[in-house]
Amino acid sequence: IAGITQAPTSQILAAGRRMTLRCTQDMRHNAMYWYRQDLGLGLRLIHYSNTAGTTGKGEVPDGYSVSRANTDDFPLTLASAVPSQTSVYFCASSDSGSGGGEQFFGPGTRLTVL
């Protein structure tokens, strides 16, 4: 693995289903982030983790949950998907959660909820 990976690349999901988006980084970065990107809007932070074992809520956390059991992995779970969660999801990581740190992005997951 080189950098940050996400899976799946894309997914079509029925409303009400549970879905976990996977994110793994091999850069040993402390901080990780989940964003959603919708047409005409900036990236919006869903959840973040400044270090393994801790997580925090971003701007749009409702309907999503995360865990950070170790440094490398930061999965995002939709407990019961709704059509408004149709979006492109990006996972990112940075060396430090305390400013100045460039964020490195995964390739994204395109999710469609019907």
Partner 1 sequence: GQNIDQPTEMTATEGAIVQINCTYQTSGFNGLFWYQQHAGEAPTFLSYNVLDGLEEKGRFSSFLSRSKGYSYLLLKELQMKDSASYLCAVSDSNYQLIWGAGTKLIIKP
Q: How many CA atoms lie within 13 A of 97 on its CB side?
A: 13
Q: How far is the CB of 62 from partner 1 (least distance, A)?
A: 17
Q: How far is the CB of 27 from partner 1 (least distance, A)?
A: 13
Q: For residue 103, what is the DSSP state?
A: P
Between residues 17 and 59, which has the closer beta carbon with respect to partner 1?
59
Name, in order, each residue with C-beta under 8 angstroms of 104's C-beta and a sequence gap of 6 or more: 3, 4, 25, 27, 29, 92, 93, 94
Between residues 18 and 43, which has the closer beta carbon with respect to partner 1?
43
Residues that bind partner 1 (CB under 8 A): 35, 40-45, 48, 58, 90, 97-100, 102-108
Q: How far is the CB of 56 from partner 1 (least distance, A)?
A: 9
